[in-house]
Amino acid sequence: MNKLEQYIRQQREQKELLLMTHIVLGYPSYDDSMRVVESMVEAGVDLMELQIPFSEPMADGPVILHANSEAIRAGATVDGCLEMAEKITAQFDIPFVFMTYYNILFSQGVMPFVENMQRIGIQGAIIPDLPPEEGRDYIAAMRTHGLSPIHIFTPNSSPQRMQTLAENSDGFVYTVARKGVTGKETQFSAELDGYLADCRAATDLPLALGFGVKTRADFDFIRGKADMAVIGSETIKVMEQGGVAAVKPFIAGILRE
Amino acid sequence: MKHSGYFNQFGGAFIPEILVPTFDQLEAAYLEAKADPAFWAEYKQLMSTYSCRATPITYAENLTHHFGGAQIYIKREDLNHTGAHKANNVMGQGLLTRRMGKKRVIAETGAGQHGVATATMAAKFGFDCTIYMGAVDVERQRPNVFWMEQMGAEVVAVEDGSRTLKDAINEAFRDWVTNMDDTHYALGTACGPYPFPEMVSWFQSIIGTEARQQMLERVGKLPDRVYACVGGGSNAMGLFSGFLDDPEVELVGVEAGGRGSGIGEHAARLAYDDASVGVAQGYKTYFLQNRDGQMQDTHSVSAGLDYVGVSPILADMHETGRARFEAATDAEVVEAMKLTVQKEGLIPALESSHAFVQAFKDAADMHSDQVILINQSGRADKDIFTVADAIDDPKWKQFIIAKADEYKKANPELAIAGGV
């Protein structure tokens, strides 16, 4: 069991459902990203995804897509994001994983990129356009460095496919609640139960459930069904509408006892 | 997937997990169709009755005499229904869509040719149809948008990123990851994840197969060189496919040189030194990107060649030296088009005119017993607005001003609304 999985299991002993949140590094600026991370950690999130912006974020919906292109327009670079991630991991005591697209790793070289991740204290990565068949070098490099390659289960994944994905994952598995891109509406209904049972049957790794989680009610619905809920686009919307100051009360509202 | 879809280091299938079963299904349908002679027979029958196949080759006698070198022949893909080689790919994918039992097709389009071709196919086969088109392209290609909408397609103007072809492709993928169960994405060029580069090239190979046979019948020998413009690369792959086993035939691909070398000035991924190998839009090839791997803006007078990536099969042919890649600048392209119109009465699209530029440069230095073949992948008369701008024709402008006044007078409410 690697470090990230161990952390998730320890947290789960105290909480029934963990919360992972997401930001796009450099959106709207590096300083604002830093303040959002601070707000989220103070509000009690257990884990965070730091997205390195890419010009062609094929799997992302309009909100995160816009954040990606605005971050790049505002001057965010891969080196700048790595520097910032290093500051974040030094300052905050929860695990952080990267989310980005394969070309970002490919341009730097997969091995140097993974070495950098280890050096700056990032614990895993989600690369939505890198299926395990194309990512053998990446998966091997991550494992050699004790980092978690995290893959995605979808409602279209067959039991065999889930098995393949789980075998190539460490830390946790990211299960998406529905088809489509990030940030669209999801009906959190009993239909999810069957799918999550299939996910559970395919792996012993912790399960994170994301895509369309927006409210306290969604969070409560997921309780007992997965180990971790993921809120992505919604916090970006909250920040866009209410500024950085709105983020902490939003997260606190989701997590209140 | 059974097959890796690699051409040496290029190609692959870098797809979101949600699409894995969809690509498995597409690959199976494609491989089955390819192994079934009845499928190709049906395809050829369809193309000979619905489009104008076999398209002829035309001897360009006046251009030949003008340059005084090699004999110039032209493969007339412009005579396809909807005016470009795009019809070959689209009708093939239409048959495949029907075979898979899907009821809706989506597509990206740059200049609008592939969008019009897809809308045509959807109308004929009775599919629902959504076309994604960069907002910049919607603005500059209204006539194509008009026809797509007349044929019942929904045209979505993409406002993200650079608002051009690559952004339209991303948006089509976003639709597909939601609606894959009943929807086929009819990708328009020999790019994207496997099996698209290979499958699109297969449908387009009808160009090269015909051309090879026609040259042998008409001229009695194979051409010394064949020329095609290269955006994504589908018409080039189509032409080159006919001559892959003929090492004596030189294959020449011509990219958009725009305003010359320097990133942002052109869309030449192979001919210039500004591109590097990367992975985006589901495949590995040469992209016009910065050192971080972020895609950069491109420029070309022809929207159809204005794209950051290039077919992985052509990238491989570039590396192995099987094909030669050149670039033609905007200014050269307009001159070559005007010359072809004047000398032959043929109207090559601005895209196709790139191939003519390099062919003309080479022809003059060749012997009169040598033969070259140019693929006229599309016709320009439907792009009359763009071409008139490129030629900067004052009489056309007068006509548009008068027409606009007429509309304004008759529809004062529209004059205020403006926009698209």
Of B12, B16, B291, the CB nearest to A58: B16
Domains of chain A: 3-7+16-255 (3.20.20.70)
As beta bridge partners, residue B378 has B84
Residues of B within 8 A of A157 (CB-CB) are: 17, 20-21
What's residue B417's pLDDT? 54
On the question of pLDDT at B420 being above 60, the answer is no
pLDDT digits (tens, 9 = 90+) for B4-38: 799 999 999 999 999 999 999 999 999 999 999 99
Beta strands in A124-256 (DSSP E): 124-126, 148-150, 152-153, 173-176, 207-210, 228-231
What's residue B136's pLDDT? 87
Average pLDDT rounded to a whole number, residues A50-76: 95
pLDDT digits (tens, 9 = 90+) for B351-376: 999 999 999 999 999 999 999 999 99
3-state secondary structure of B257: strand
What is the token pair recorded at B279?
A: 């992975």
B16/A130 CB distance under 8 A: no
Average pLDDT rounded to a whole number, residues B324-333: 98
A179/B279 CB distance under 8 A: no
Q: Give helix then strand counts, H and E, for chain B.
A: 16, 14
On the question of pLDDT at B2 being above 70, the answer is no
For residues B317 and B323, is the Cβ–Cβ distance under 8 A? yes
Q: How big is the A-B interface in CB pairs under 8 Å? A: 105
- Alpha helices (H) along B83-232: 86-100, 113-125, 135-140, 142-150, 165-179, 196-218
Query: Among A24, A52, A103, A153, which would you mutate to test the B interface (most chain B Cβ atoms within 10 Å of its Cβ)?
Result: A103
d(Cα B6, Cα B13) in Å, to the nearest integer?
9
Rounded (to 5) percent helix, strand, coil in chain A? 50, 15, 35
d(Cα B125, Cα A197) in Å, to the nearest integer?
40
pTM of the model: 0.96
B17/A107 CB distance under 8 A: no
Q: Kindly provide the ipTM of the predicted complex, given to two decimals.
A: 0.95
Active site residue A49: yes
pLDDT digits (tens, 9 = 90+) for B110-154: 889 999 999 999 999 999 999 999 998 898 788 899 999 999 999
pLDDT digits (tens, 9 = 90+) for A85-101: 999 999 999 999 999 99
On the question of pLDDT at A56 being above 70, the answer is yes
Instruction: Give kind and range of the element (H or E) at residue B133.
Output: strand B128-134
Whether B53-83+205-384 and B6-48+86-196 are alike in CATH topology: the answer is yes
Average pLDDT rounded to a whole number, residues B152-171: 92
d(Cα B86, Cα B89) in Å, to the nearest integer?
6
On the question of pLDDT at A144 being above 60, the answer is yes
Q: Which residues contact B56 (CB under 8 A, 6 or more apart)?
A: B76, B79, B214
Distance from chain centroid for Cα B195: 17
Residues of B within 8 A of A59 (CB-CB) are: 16, 177
Closest CA to B249 of B187, B317, B306, B311: B317
d(Cα B269, Cα B256) in Å, to the nearest integer?
9
Q: Is A82 on the interface with B (CB under 8 A)?
A: no
Average pLDDT rounded to a whole number, residues A212-231: 93
Instruction: Give kind and range of the element (H or E) at residue B253.
Output: strand B250-258
Q: Which residues contact A121 (CB under 8 A, 6 or more apart)?
A: A86, A89, A90, A96
Distance from CA of A249 to the nearest CA of B (A): 31
B20/A157 CB distance under 8 A: yes
β-sheet with B283-287: strand ranges across: B6-7, B10-11, B283-287, B276-280
| DSSP secondary structure code for residue B261 in this structure | S
Average predicted confidence (pLDDT) for chain B: 95
Residues of A within 8 A of B282 (CB-CB) are: 58, 129
Which amino acid would we find at residue B363? A
Average pLDDT rounded to a whole number, residues A52-67: 94
A128/B294 CB distance under 8 A: no
As beta bridge partners, residue B375 has B75
Report domain extents, chain B.
6-48+86-196, 53-83+205-384
What's residue B416's pLDDT? 62
**Complete DSSP assignment for B164-198:** SHHHHHHHHHHHHHHHTTTEEE---SS-SSTTHHH
For residues B195 and B27, is the Cβ–Cβ distance under 8 A? yes
d(Cα B92, Cα B22) in Å, to the nearest integer?
18
* CATH architecture, range B6-48+86-196: 3-Layer(aba) Sandwich (3.40)
Which is the catalytic residue, given A46, A60, A227, A234?
A60
On the question of pLDDT at B57 being above 90, the answer is yes
Bigger pLDDT: A164 or B140?
A: A164
What's residue B383's pLDDT? 75
d(Cα A116, Cα B411) in Å, to the nearest integer?
63
* CATH code of the domain occupying B53-83+205-384: 3.40.50.1100
Distance from CA of B306 to the nearest CA of A (A): 16
On the question of pLDDT at B402 being above 90, the answer is yes
On the question of pLDDT at A124 being above 90, the answer is yes
What's residue A145's pLDDT? 98
What's residue B415's pLDDT? 72
With bands split at pLDDT 50, 70 and 90, how would you rate the model's confidence at A199?
Answer: very high
On the question of pLDDT at A257 being above 80, the answer is no
B293/A104 CB distance under 8 A: yes
Q: Give helix then strand counts, H and E, for chain A.
A: 12, 9
As beta bridge partners, residue B313 has none
Q: Is A101 on the interface with B (CB under 8 A)?
A: yes
3-state secondary structure of B57: strand
Q: Is A133 on the interface with B (CB under 8 A)?
A: yes
